[in-house]
Structure 1
Amino acid sequence: MTPALAASLAASLAGDIGVGGRGFVVLAVLCGAAAIFLLLYLVMSGRSVETDLETRLSAYSEQEEATGWLGRFRLLRRFAVSAERMAERRGFLAQIETALEQANLTLRPGEAMAGLLVLAVVAGLAALVLTGSPLSALLLAVAAVILAAYLVAAAASRQRRRFEEQLPDTLALLATSLRAGYSMLQALDTVAQEAADPTAREFQRVLNEIRLGRSVAESLQDSATRMDSVDFDWVVLAFTIQREVGGNLAEVLDTAGDTMLARTRLRREMRALTSEGRISALVLGSMPFLVAGFLLVTNPGYIAPLLESSLGVTALVIAGLLLILGLVWMARIVKPEI
């Protein structure tokens, strides 16, 4: 092979790599990260029976270190513990716990915050490799955290809505069980066995708390608070009054169930009537981000002055504030209180 032919082959190969080089770099980074994570998992998962026993017993001790998947990574475990302490000092630890419980995620608040950190780092590194812009990496990292928080909130809202929709049938089952001669604990156990999730899961937790020594009223009240259900809060109030002054609890539950069934029907009708407004809000709210993402991918130079100049950044901030104001306004219009 002559030197000229070798040089031409090398130049051709370099040109091919230059065309798809960025894609190859991204693929190599992702494959390397996956391989490192799998290796660490295989190495860390080889624990002895004594270590497994200590991990299980630590859940009942006063240790503050996080367990679960974070137990294999010391740095993330320390971050999770520090994040939980900071959240407790600032007073929003209970809100994070409630959101995770409502979304049916078996995570501690520290584990959730550590997961968000890992997600933000991975998204930022991917954006930095793809675009080479630190600003794009920062924006994508923030967007990944916001998206994860939104998904958790959406899952929690879906669980609460299902609980509310199942509540009339739950009260009917409770009333039928009481009329059949069951005690209140037996009626709760019937609901925990026969109902669908999330009702079955919540009533099973209520039963477990009662068996550990808590009163029925306190356990039911915690369930109503945890699911953020005003209707179920009324049921607990009616149950508490009945326990104090007496009366036919089955009849009270039937009346409450009929009222909640009528409210559920009205809520569904309002949701159907406002569906057009909700779709409009979704389209108008997502369109600026979709257009900006399309321009960043297809023609970055066209949108660069908007991101790099002070006037463009100011315009973006003002537009973002107006967009948030418009979305909040439309949300208040399409979500009437019933």
Structure 2
Amino acid sequence: MSSLLLLPLLLLFIGGTSLALMGGMRVDRTKKALELRLSRVSGQTLVTTIEAGSETNDPLGRLRRPAMVLIGLVGVDLARAPDYPMPWWIILIGAGVVSRGIAFLIGTVGAGLGWLVWPPLFILVARLAFGTVHARRSALLLSQFPDALTTIVRTVRVGIPVQEALRVVAQDMPAPTGREFSRIADQVAIGTPLEQALHQMADRVKLAEYGFFATAISLQSRYGGGLVTTLEGLAEVIRKRVAMKARGYALASEARTSALVLGIIPLVAALAIELIQPSYLRVLFVTHAGKILLAIAIGLLAGGAMVMREIIRRSLN
């Protein structure tokens, strides 16, 4: 009964925290817009003064900082949250439900053990979910980036400024690359320096190739030189890096298939034994010792799968 009551309370807590943070983010955006207006009028930035006052006078600001630490702990990146396939708080709720289900199964081994392992399981499942979302988005950004650079080169070559070339990329490229360049074009349109907008994009995307691009544009704008030649060389280098990474995935396909087969074999064997002799595996679900052995087996299987996945990921990087 207590389990049924605590799950809605957890979902209610996550939802309330999400609403508070979204409200705080709206306040931050309004405050930053006001700071930008004031800095344009007075010729000086008031960010430091306003932030120092907000830490002492804004109770929501004091509460938001530990909340942001907790959100970072579970793997949420609010800078990339608008590009998530669904709202980040829904992913957190899903992670809470999945981790609670796993904790419930572990709790059958010993009383109270499920509630003890639920918090670390929740963090692990949430980080895995957001890590998968980030990895897929990064792979899309990397695969689309050479085409975006080619579009910029062709546009600049006919005499169009770099700022307009970025807007052309924002219109022509699919998501998520189009969205990132659209943000740059909008930032430049309201007065943000191009170099600053590019470095912010590189920090947000967290890909070395975007950092190369931002550095190349910054150096060209400061010291001059052939921008077209620089971007062509950069596009060629990035194409080779993408091709090398794709080749690495192809070479690692055998290892990934082996890991998948090794993970499926115990499940297939258990299903076959259940069909041949149904009472043979029942001891694992009825007796206390059987439950312990089953939990150990599932833990070892999951741990082995994660280790193999990490080895493959590190070998590709």
TM-score by length of 2: 0.63
Inter-partner Cα distance in structure 2 for 1:87 and 1:289: 40
Give the equivalent residue in structure 2 for 1:92: 72
* Alignment correspondent of 2:39: none
Displacement after TM superposition at 1:233 (Å): 0.9
Runs of 5+ unmatched residues, structure 2: 9-21, 30-60
The letter of the residue matching 2:235 is: G
Shift of 1:113: 3.6
**Correspondence for 1:208 among 166, 169, 186:** 186
Is 1:268 matched with 2:246?
A: yes
Letter in 2 for 1:235: F
Q: Secondary structure at the match of 2:27?
A: coil
Q: Distance in 2 between matches of 1:142 and 1:86?
A: 18
Q: Identity, % of aligned pairs?
A: 19
Query: What corresponds to 2:218 in structure 1?
Result: 240
The Cα of 1:219 is off from its aligned counterpart by 1.6
Are the counterparts in 2 of residues 202 and 223 from structure 1 also a CA contact under 8 Å? Answer: yes
- For residue 169 of structure 2, the aligned residue among 184, 191, 207 is 191
Rounded Cα–Cα distance in structure 2 between residues aligned with 1:137 and 1:311: 13
> Match of 1:303?
284
Corresponding residue for residue 33 of structure 2: none
Q: Is 1:252–2:242 an aligned residue pair?
A: no
Q: How far apart, in 2, do the equivalents of 1:290 and 1:140 lie?
A: 28
In structure 1, what residue type is equivalent to 2:68?
A: E
CA radius of gyration, larger in: 1
**By how many angstroms is 1:269 displaced?**
1.8
Could you list the runs of 5+ residues in structure 1 that have no partner in the other structure? Answer: 1-28, 34-55, 64-80
Q: How does 1:1-338 map to 2 (within 5 A)?
A: 60-61=26-27, 85-89=65-69, 92=72, 95-97=75-77, 101=81, 104-105=84-85, 107=87, 112-114=91-93, 116-117=95-96, 120=99, 123=101, 149-285=127-263, 287=265, 301-304=282-285, 308=289, 312=293, 316=297, 319=300, 323=304, 326-327=307-308, 330-331=311-312, 335-337=315-317
Question: Is the 2:75–2:126 Cα contact (8 Å) retained in structure 1?
Answer: no
Q: Which moved more, 1:196-205 or 1:88-97?
A: 88-97
Query: 1:274 and 1:215 mapped to 2: Cα distance?
Result: 42
Deviations 1:83-120 (A, max 9, x none): 96534346836951258538624635x66545543565
Q: Which amino acid aligns with 2:183?
A: R
Q: CA deviation at 1:156?
A: 2.1
Aligned residue pairs: how many?
262
Identify which range, 147-156 or 223-232, moves more after superposition. Answer: 147-156
Question: Residue 331 and residue 134 in structure 1: after superposition, are their counterparts in 2 closer, same or farther (change >3 A)?
Answer: farther
| Residue 91 to residue 315, structure 1, CA distance change in 2 (3 Å) | closer
Amino acid in structure 1 at the alignment position of 2:72: F
Tell me the CA shift for residue 267 of structure 1. 1.9
1:202 Cα deviation (Å)?
0.9
> SS at 2:282's partner residue?
helix
**Distance in 1 of aligned mates of 2:225 and 2:283:** 73
Q: CA deviation at 1:164?
A: 0.6
Q: 1:285 to 1:149 in 2, by over 3 A?
A: farther
Question: Cα distance 1:289–1:157, how it changes in 2: closer, same or farther (>3 A)?
Answer: farther
Work out whether residues 102 and 160 of structure 1, in 8 Å CA contact, stay in contact via their aligned partners in 2.
no
Q: Which residue of 2 aligns with 1:78?
A: none
Instruction: State the shift of 1:178 in Å.
Output: 0.9
Root mean square deviation, CA, Å: 4.8
